[in-house]
Amino acid sequence: MNELPNPTFALSPVAVQRGSLPGNDADVQRAGGALVSWARHQDEVRQAQRLRFKVFAEEMGARLNTNVPGHDVDLFDDYCEHLLVRDPETLQVIGTYRVLTPAQAKRAGGAYSDTEFDLTRLRFLRERMVELGRSCVHRDHRHGGVILALWGALAQFMHRNKLDTMIGCASIPMLHNGVVSGDAAASIWQQVSKTHLAPIEYHVRPRLPLPVEQLDGSLDVEPPALIKGYLRLGAKVLGPPAWDPDFNTADLPMLMRVADLPSRYRRQFKE
């Protein structure tokens, strides 16, 4: 079992108990019946990558360029911290996030979001900004408990490491009512641009824009659950979506600052 490089920041030790995961000495926290931990060894990262492959490739039809069959692997994984939620009965990974810290983003030469957007206007935030990515939950466990477990651990991580800003690419599937089309994404962009658009000094530009002007942006469609959750937490959209042809999604650039969270959520990032 290969140890990962030491994390850039110490992992949060709050409210933890020793877990009973085979071959794993990481601290494990119980949250709403789930087991939450940060990956400390390569085999744990592989479990997250298997879940990502199952969700993104097998379920959503993404075309993944991976050198490990059955796993979603990319060049940023080695630089990220990987947050895992496990089923307490089977110890199977049922939810995951990956987190790229500012120091690790420098080592990697940038963030994943940099490959999809020109983030020049965010350069003044980078010293305390993390990138969230590859969020997914197993189809049999898509309820609020898993998401809350992920967010609780993330809140502790942000607080312990004095980080205050989160960015990421929030995906909208191009498949709508059984048809591959960008109309749903264009419609969601039209909705959120009127209600949750960031001030112009935070705007970013997509490197491969979704041609929203050429699409029907008048559909009555709801944003995906993850995007709705981010918006409820006070996240802002930084500009129009990019098109990701490999994942066949439209990706919205989003930013969330701890200071902008509703007070009932902000407390989690201070405890």
Q: What would the pLDDT profile of 179-222 be if each residue is shown by its tens digit?
A: 678 999 999 999 999 999 999 999 999 999 999 999 999 999 99
Half-sphere exposure of 254 (CA within 13 A, CB side): 25
Over range 107-131, report the average pLDDT: 96
**Most confident region among 112-116, 160-164, 231-235, 256-260 by mean pLDDT:** 112-116
- Predicted local distance difference test score (pLDDT) of residue 25: 42
117 pLDDT exceeds 50?
A: yes
CATH numbers and ranges of domains, the chain: 17-270 (3.40.630.30)
- Predicted local distance difference test score (pLDDT) of residue 61: 84
**Nearest CA-CA partner of 35 in 98, 73, 90:** 90
Q: What would the pLDDT profile of 32-52 be if each residue is shown by its tens digit?
A: 678 999 999 999 999 999 999
- Predicted local distance difference test score (pLDDT) of residue 16: 32
Mean pLDDT of the chain: 85
- Predicted local distance difference test score (pLDDT) of residue 150: 85
DSSP string, the chain: -PBPPPPSSPPP-TT-EE---TT--SEEEEETTEEEEE--BHHHHHHHHHHHHIIIIIIT------SSTTS---TTGGGSEEEEEE-TTT--EEEEEEEE-HHHHHHHTS-HHHHHEE-GGGGGGGGGEEEEEEEEE-GGG-SHHHHHHHHHHHHHHHHHTT--EEEEEEEEESEETTEE-SHHHHHHHHHHHHHSBPPGGG--EESSB--GGGS------PPPHHHHHHHHTT-EE-SSPEEETTTTEEEEEEEEEGGGS-HHHHGGGG-
pTM exceeds cut of 0.75: yes
Q: What would the pLDDT profile of 212-228 be if each residue is shown by its tens digit?
A: 999 999 999 999 888 98
- Predicted local distance difference test score (pLDDT) of residue 65: 85
- Predicted local distance difference test score (pLDDT) of residue 26: 44
Over range 219-248, report the average pLDDT: 91
- Predicted local distance difference test score (pLDDT) of residue 265: 63
10 pLDDT exceeds 50?
A: no
